[in-house]
Structure 1
């Protein structure tokens, strides 16, 4: 990509990140283009579909979650590592309000622009889950798909005005259900 095109692409992503943070995953693409000071056609040249834009926004965060899982693999407590990663993953998903539906759908759709990013993120969480299971810190009757589903549910809870005040408590309840009783 040419330097000027890369600069425009990065600027559109920066503006989109702000607008999506304010309005959620269904943010107006016209608002994004307007705030970026470009025409809607320019936005569509860089991101031909909303899903492509979401994937670009989420890929960076999912890559960070994957790296975080790698760092946590070496921590002393497998259960604490899993819980710390899950808490961070929920925060990322919640930061893109309304994106959880797209993320869940993307896991099952290999043609989705979000598929590869979601698969990589799910694999990172699964590796922490497996480590916790092998050490006896997590229940053995769940897999990465279950963990990804719980992540989605926890992010969704944070988006609900009536449940948001209880989101931390509900996270602790779910995390407690994942971890094995000693």
Structure 2
């Protein structure tokens, strides 16, 4: 919400996250997506647009296949990406929102983040653009020194192939557990019913 107010812009889309029981998305339908997104600590978010189109999980660069099994952004082809908004949003994840979006230099006086970010995966081309935007945001006092340092240094932002249309964010914390009262046996998918064969007698 603070990002939308600051930039007077549309919402940034949320993509895949852990499904209801802690498994990878769509596992209960027999069509699991991703090798990650289990245990409730990972989520995909879209790339904010600069052309008034919805900020969906959509590629904002020219993709190229490297060795036929890695899709990456071609250098210098990033387009229609609101990189200032993206860098600002990521800084809020790291430092946490502040009342009225004010700059609070003393970290001890801030409410702090809602959750601690462990890793952010995306394409190297987007990482380069994010880091270019950081100095101007700090001069405006829109981001704090802690987020500026974390996003500007190696470690938190990590390049990853096939992340040309979104960012993959992993948070620290314990593995998510589904409360017993919410556990139930999902309906089998058509493929699972077919594999099980006829039942009854």
| Structure with higher strand content | 2
Flag the structure with more relative contact order, 1 or 2, with Cα contacts below 8 A and sequence separation at least 6.
2
TM-score (norm 2): 0.29
TM-score (norm 1): 0.31
Which structure is larger by alpha-carbon Rg, 1 or 2?
A: 2
